[in-house]
Amino acid sequence: MRDFYGVTLDNPLMLGTAQYPSPAVLEAAFRESGAAIATVSLRRERGEGQAFWDMVRSLGVHILPNTAGCHSAREAITTAQMAREYFETDWIKLEVIGHDDTLQPDPFELVAAAEALCADGFKVFPYMTEDQVIATRLVEAGCRVLMPWGAPIGSGLGLTNPFALRSLRAAFPDIPLVVDAGLGLPSHAAQAMEMGYDAVLLNTAVAQADDPAAMARAFALAAQAGQIAARSGPMPARDMAAPSTPLIGKAFL
């Protein structure tokens, strides 16, 4: 299993904690999925109160606070510092949004925030596009995990640029990579893991399902299946057919 800042995860599924119909449904989704990490927004938690935080703690998972809703490096840095104090962790999922319609991250503000936070001792999980140049800058800044999107947040489109995601995986073989955002179906999670990604992070596809707990379990199983497939050495794609039944022993008339 890949090392995430000194932590080895036994489940490649990470779940967000927003948009669930109730805390009880959220808890059931985590129990069914066995997700190893829960992302939590400082802004949302402060609005929900201590009861919500106590429930999240009771899940027994690693907490990954995020800077959701931030649009500048300065805002993200301040939010991260508050989150570290409140959640008592150096982990931070760094989100710096640059486009309101697509929620695409701002690459310039993202790198600036990552540089400052890494220098301040944070263990940064940056939400980014699949751009290799930005990935290089983030690694140079000190990030030891990268989280490229599959598609815009909440879109459910799946992996819209599989070529770029495969290229990113090949370019950074020693960096843990997590597909974050845009996954709508368990098959999308399996596809990401089959590419060799180390984990997937999602929220909307589970939280807004008719049965979030069942959907969470489906995503967990799909992610684990994709992980096993990647480790098993999948057969390469071919342009031509290749018979699975050998011709040896066939009668020729």
Active site amino acids: 93
CA distance linking residue 146 with residue 164, whole number of Å: 14
Residue 35 labelled as part of a binding site: no
Backbone angles phi, psi at 8, to 5 degrees: -100, 125
Residue 181 labelled as part of a binding site: yes
Token pair belonging to 89: 């962790």
**8 Å CB contact between 143 and 124:** yes
Angle among Cα 225, 230, 234 to the nearest 5 degrees reads 110
CA 61 to chain centre: 15
- Specify burial of residue 193 (Cβ count, 10 A radius: 0-12, 13-18, 19+): buried
Residue 182 labelled as part of a binding site: yes
Q: Which residue has 């949302």 as its token pair?
A: 44
CA distance linking residue 199 with residue 14, whole number of Å: 7
**Beta bridge pairs of residue 39:** 16, 64
**8 Å CB contact between 103 and 76:** no
Binding residues: 154, 181-182, 203-204
Binding residues for 1-deoxy-D-xylulose 5-phosphate: 154, 181-182, 203-204
